[in-house]
């Protein structure tokens, strides 16, 4: 029998790129939700280049902010069968970490730019010229219509322009999902050891 | 038990910093040291370390109830009288404990000897449970160590299970001294395991904990920065300090569940060593130990002198059988002392530094189970906070 732990995974101590967020005013700002950059380009709210840049930024953020699970079944309970993938930052043991697939993205809307002078791609993080952090969006198994942030904040019932307060959608490191089952078991025991 | 030199993993320092192990090097001196590892046989681990650890643990647990009822022993241990009933209550209510570490002398032969118990605020937890574990997995993956190499280290699994099974108030708070990065690293690791077990974890620096009282100044409760009650608290801060400070009185009034519980202050005290020796004289895993009194013989060859409360080797004096004297400075010189028979740490050759080195073994207990070991090395016979941490393997 092995004398060492089966796994030694970290979920809170893992690194995350510091997200540079512009000062969060409480005013609502225009933003957009799309499944992919071609939908975004077709809507002509931002330039095609901006659409691609935002999508790439959201994809880059996805593995960092997506909620993490230590097994695939638990992930699929929340996000539906076939909607979970292996996270790239595997635990050291080779025991994989799972996360939901990205189902869309949120980006700030470049207003009144009329397609001119938009060649510069946005940096990762906040969309250029807006305070809305560009980020991936997800859909939970029991509410297939709604786009949600990685922290489970619903942002839109479909694609297109929306308005929101940037502080409500501030991305955070994806933490392991806590389940009622653990709590229920803990509550049924009075002491540990023996 | 062998000491074997080995190449360091490329980029381990960058990896250490990525996973929050920010104290791998302290003041320019290595703390984590993977220029060598110790190798044990399975029999050495199971017969000489794991089984004695659990036996010693049961022996001290069997003494706690008696100590809580003995004015004489509570006095010998310097437990303030105001806390006697609080400690008694914490034991009789069965307040659960989480973990502890006993320090052992062991050279691969014969019985390991108990040097002391760190049963209240043991650190080097992350290094043992996580970083040493990753080191082994990496070195197997790199082909440096054989597939069959194992490690006595179930700390991560056992602590996570403990957090899942303990009935802790939620949210559960963790605290440590604000600017101590080593303590913060230990607490972060515990919070990480607790979170994986489903605990709603919150961190609060020790200095930010508040106390709220009713308008008569009664019913004091500990609160967080939003004045929300702290109903459960893991504190990486010694009980013997807590009972001496401004908030000491609030401890007995507040209904905060503490990990480690108050009865652990009886076991993290060097006074437990003479009490153990008196209860189990000549036990193979114990060294003779006595309280130092006015009528004690002059301190002489073959003895070690330790303050009742001290950490990381501070204020320890020793005289070897040959009369060689050594002392470690420290801030714990004002209390009482115990004396323990000197038993030399085994000496090994550090080829990387071309120097002799002494090894001490820490043996972990989670709940009531032995949960793994860690090894600290020092150029002297006294293991200190600056002593290096080396990984180990089991290979027959």
B62 in A contact zone (CB under 8 Å): no
Q: Do B198 and A186 touch (CB under 8 A)?
A: yes
Residue that wins the pLDDT comparison between A87 and B394:
B394
Tell me, what's the ipTM?
0.89
Nearest by CB to residue A176, choosing from B20, B155, B195, is B195
Residue A121: predicted pLDDT:
38
In 3D space, the residue among B109, B65, B60 whose CA is nearest the CA of residue B90 turns out to be B65
- CB of B102 within 8 A of CB of B363? yes
Is residue A177 within 8 angstroms of chain B, CB to CB? Answer: no
pLDDT classification of A93: cutoffs 50, 70, 90: low
- Beta bridge partners, B4, equal B37
A93 neighbourhood in chain B, CB within 8 Å:
137
The reported pLDDT for the residue numbered A186 is 23
Give B 173-232 residues with CB within 8 A of chain A: 188-189, 191-192, 195-201
pLDDT value for A178: 28
Q: Please state the length of chain B.
A: 396
Cβ of residue A4 closer than 8 Å to a chain B Cβ: yes
* Residues of chain B positioned with their CB less than 8 A from the CB of A192: 96, 162, 165-167, 367
Q: Distance between CA B201 and CA A146 in Å, rounded?
A: 29
Who among B42, B133, B164 is closest to A5 (CB)? B133
pLDDT reported for residue A175: 47
User: What's the rounded mean pLDDT across residues B106-131?
Assistant: 95
β-strand pairing of A160-164 with A29-34: antiparallel
Optimal mutation site among B164, B259, B369, B392, interface A, most CBs of chain A within 10 A: B164
pLDDT for the residue numbered A180:
22
Instruction: Sort out which chain B residues have CB atoms less than 8 A from A193's CB and list them.
Output: 96-97, 367-368
The DSSP H or E segment spanning B161 is: helix B155-165
Which residues of A are less than 8 Å from B153 in CB distance?
A: 3-5
Q: At what angle do helices B84-92 and B51-68 cross, to 10 degrees?
A: 130
Distances in Å between the Cα of A99 and the Cα atoms of A69, A96, A103, A124 are 6, 10, 12, 21
Whether the pLDDT of residue B208 is over 90: the answer is no
User: What interhelical angle do B155-165 and A180-187 show, nearest 10?
Assistant: 70
Mean predicted lDDT score pLDDT of chain B: 93
pLDDT band at A22 (very low <50, low <70, confident <90, very high): very low
* Alpha helix ranges (H) inside chain A: 37-43, 48-65, 72-79, 180-187
- Give the rounded percent of residues in chain A with a pLDDT score beyond 70: 68
Q: Is the pLDDT of residue B178 over 50?
A: yes
- Selected residue with higher pLDDT from A108 and B388: B388
| Lowest mean pLDDT segment, chosen from A91-105, B24-38, B277-291, B356-370 | A91-105
Q: Reply yes or no on whether the pLDDT at A171 is more than 90.
A: no
Burial call A74-95: b when 16+ CB within 10 Å, e when fewer: bbbebbbeebbbebebebbbee
Taking only residues 60 to 89 of chain A, the set having a beta carbon closer than 8 angstroms to any beta carbon of chain B reads 70
Residue A122 near residue A57 (C-beta atoms within 8 A): yes
pLDDT tops 50 at residue A124: no
Upper half-sphere CA count for residue B19 (Cβ side, 13 Å): 23
Rounded CA gap, A156 and A109, in Å?
A: 15
Min Cα distance A75 → chain B (Å) is: 14
Query: How many angstroms away from the CA of A70 is the closest CA of chain B?
Result: 9
pLDDT at B141: 92
B365 vs chain A: nearest CA distance in angstroms? 11
Of A105-114, B236-245, B308-317, B330-339, least confident by mean pLDDT is A105-114
CA distance A176 to B160: 13
Residue B51 has pLDDT above 90, yes or no: yes
- What is the reported pLDDT for A91? 66
The shortest C-alpha distance from A59 to chain B (Å) reads 22
Label each residue of B170-193 as H, E or C.
Answer: CCEEEEECCCCHHHHHHHHHHHHH
CA B132 from chain centre, in angstroms, equals 17
Minimum-distance CB partner of B133 among A8, A70, A181: A8
- Confidence class for position A187, pLDDT limits 50, 70, 90: very low
Distance CA B56, CA A9 (A): 30
Whether residues A193 and B18 touch (CB distance < 8 A) is answered with: no
Question: How much is the average pLDDT of A124-130?
Answer: 50
CB–CB contact B170 A7 (8 Å): no
Please tell me what DSSP assigns to residue A157.
S
B142 touches chain A (CB under 8 A): no
Rounded to an integer, the average pLDDT of B12-16 is 92
Most confidently predicted of A29-33, B18-22, B212-216, B281-285: B281-285
Q: Residue B183 to residues A65, B107, B157, B255, B386: CA-CA distances in angstroms?
A: 27, 30, 21, 25, 14
Predicted pLDDT at B2: 97
Q: How much of chain B exceeds pLDDT 90, in percent?
A: 73
In the structure, what pLDDT confidence band is assigned to residue A129 with cuts at 50, 70 and 90?
Answer: low
State the average pLDDT over residues B247-271.
93
Which of B157, B158, B164 lies nearest to residue A186, judging by beta carbons?
A: B164
């Amino acid at each position: 029998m092995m004398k060492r732990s089966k796994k030694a995974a970290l979920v809170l101590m893992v690194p995350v790129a510091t997200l540079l967020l512009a000062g969060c005013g409480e005013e609502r700002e225009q933003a957009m939700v799309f499944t992919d950059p071609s939908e975004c380009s077709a809507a002509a709210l931002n330039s095609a280049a901006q659409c691609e840049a935002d999508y790439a930024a959201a994809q880059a953020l996805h593995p960092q902010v997506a909620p993490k699970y230590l097994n695939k079944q638990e992930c699929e309970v929340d996000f539906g069968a076939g909607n979970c993938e292996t996270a790239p930052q595997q635990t050291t043991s080779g025991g994989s970490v799972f996360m939901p697939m990205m189902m869309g993205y949120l980006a700030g809307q470049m207003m009144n730019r009329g397609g001119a002078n938009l060649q510069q791609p946005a940096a990762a993080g906040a969309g250029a010229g807006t305070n809305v952090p560009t980020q991936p969006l997800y859909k939970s198994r029991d509410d297939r219509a709604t786009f949600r942030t990685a922290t489970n904040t619903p942002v839109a019932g479909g694609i297109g322009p929306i308005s929101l307060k940037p502080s409500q959608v501030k991305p955070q490191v994806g933490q392991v999902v806590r389940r009622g089952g653990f709590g229920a078991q803990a509550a049924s025991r009075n002491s540990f050891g023996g | 038990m062998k000491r074997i030199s080995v190449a360091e993993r490329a980029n381990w320092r960058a990896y250490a910093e990525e996973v929050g192990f920010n104290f791998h090097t302290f003041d320019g001196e290595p703390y984590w040291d993977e220029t060598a590892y110790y190798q044990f046989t399975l029999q050495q681990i199971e017969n000489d370390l794991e089984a004695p650890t659990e036996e010693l643990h049961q022996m001290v647990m069997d003494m706690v109830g008696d100590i809580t009822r003995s004015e004489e022993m509570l006095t010998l241990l310097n437990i303030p009288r105001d806390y006697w009933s609080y400690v008694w209550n914490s034991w009789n209510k069965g307040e659960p404990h989480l973990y502890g570490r006993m320090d052992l002398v062991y050279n691969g032969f014969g019985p390991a000897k108990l040097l002391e118990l760190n049963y209240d605020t043991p650190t080097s937890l992350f290094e043992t449970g996580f970083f040493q574990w990753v080191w082994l997995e990496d070195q197997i993956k790199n082909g440096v160590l054989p597939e069959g190499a194992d490690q006595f280290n179930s700390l991560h699994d056992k602590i996570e299970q403990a957090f899942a099974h303990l009935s802790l108030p939620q949210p559960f708070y963790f605290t440590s001294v604000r600017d101590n990065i080593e303590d913060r690293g230990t607490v972060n690791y515990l919070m990480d395991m607790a979170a994986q077990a489903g605990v709603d974890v919150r961190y609060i620096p020790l200095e930010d904990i508040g106390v709220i009282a009713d308008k008569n100044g009664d019913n004091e409760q500990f609160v967080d920065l939003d004045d929300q009650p702290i109903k459960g608290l893991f504190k990486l801060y010694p009980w013997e300090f807590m009972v001496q400070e401004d908030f000491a009185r609030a401890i007995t009034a507040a209904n905060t569940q503490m990990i480690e519980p108050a009865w652990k202050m009886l076991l993290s005290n060097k006074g437990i060593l003479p009490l153990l020796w008196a209860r189990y004289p000549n036990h193979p895993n114990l060294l003779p130990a006595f309280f130092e009194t006015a009528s004690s013989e002059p301190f002489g060859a073959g003895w070690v002198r330790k303050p009742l409360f001290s950490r990381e080797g501070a204020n320890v004096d020793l005289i070897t059988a040959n009369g060689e004297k050594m002392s470690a400075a420290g801030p714990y010189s004002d209390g009482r002392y115990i004396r323990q028979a000197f038993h030399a740490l085994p000496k090994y050759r550090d080829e990387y530094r071309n120097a002799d080195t002494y090894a001490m073994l820490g043996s972990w207990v989670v709940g009531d189970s032995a949960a793994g070991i860690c090894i600290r090395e020092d150029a002297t016979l006294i293991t200190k906070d600056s002593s290096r941490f080396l990984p180990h393997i089991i290979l027959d």
